[in-house]
Structure 1
Amino acid sequence: MNVSLFSWIVILLAAFAANLPFFNQQLFGLIPLKRDAAWVKPVWVRLIELVVLYFGVGVVAHFLEAGIGNVFSQGWEFYAITGCLFLVLAYPGYVMRYLRKQHA
């Protein structure tokens, strides 16, 4: 496959994964946590989900890179930049969950 296609796959997967914790009340979008309708998933659970999904996207990106050819070693700068990028990609979900005005 094409390197450019793999790049777009990783970017779209990261955007989806970054917003997933904010658009549902389930753990990773799959595991129901409470049956009570009034229960809201706490912020700390959403942040843990973000960290786990960040590393999940990193693993997928690593396997795609390994399929293309040589895997390049990365320093702390790479992880700092991609972590910040992941948080930027999560911003629309954060806005929809916490900053949008709820109409009654």
Structure 2
Amino acid sequence: MDTSIAGWLVIAIAIAAANLPFFNDKVFAIVGAKWQRKPLFIRLLEMTALYLVVGAVGFALEANIGTRFPQTWEFYAISACTFLVLGFPGFIVRYLRKAHG
């Protein structure tokens, strides 16, 4: 797999994963729960877990292409903030959009 394709694949997976908790009321889009609407803290826990999954996919693709580069805390801080920004459209649709009708 080409480096460019792997990079865009990780970005596409990150966009989908960051918005997944906001576009459904099931936990990880699989498990139904007791509540009518999923609470925000459950959505944030899902985002955290999905951030780790996307990171694992990125590391696997990087290892498949060649040697993995060592990362420091700055990389994880920036990538976590980027993941939160990627999830912002889902947050807007779920919590800030007015319902019509």
Tell whether the structures are fold-level matches, with TM greater than 0.5. Answer: yes
Alignment pair present for 1:79 and 2:47: no
Aligned twin of 1:101: 98
Unaligned 5+ segments in structure 2 are none
1:73 Cα deviation after fit: 0.9
Distance in 1 (CA, whole Å) between partners of 2:45 and 2:87 is 13
Q: How does 1:1-104 map to 2 (within 5 A)?
A: 1-34=1-34, 39-104=36-101
Query: Match for 1:26: what amino acid?
Result: K
Deviation at 1:103, TM superposition (A): 1.8
Describe the superposition over 1:35-76 as per-residue Cα deviations: whole angstroms up to 9, x where unpaired: x7xx00000000000000000000000000000010111000
Kindly state the Cα deviation for residue 31 of structure 1 after the two structures are TM-superposed: 1.1
Instruction: Point out 4+ residue stretches in structure 1 off by more than 3 angstroms.
Output: none
Alpha-carbon displacement from aligned partner over 1:54-103 (angstroms, at most 9, x marks no partner): 00000000000000010111000000000010001000000000000012
Cα offset, 1:32, TM superposition: 1.1
* Residue-pair matches, total: 101
- Partners of 2:54 and 2:20 lie apart in 1 by 12
Structure 1: 5+ residue runs without aligned partners?
Answer: none
CA distance in 2, matches of 1:12, 1:30: 21
Give the counterpart letter for 1:65 in structure 2: E
**What amino acid does structure 2 have at the position aligned with 1:3?**
T
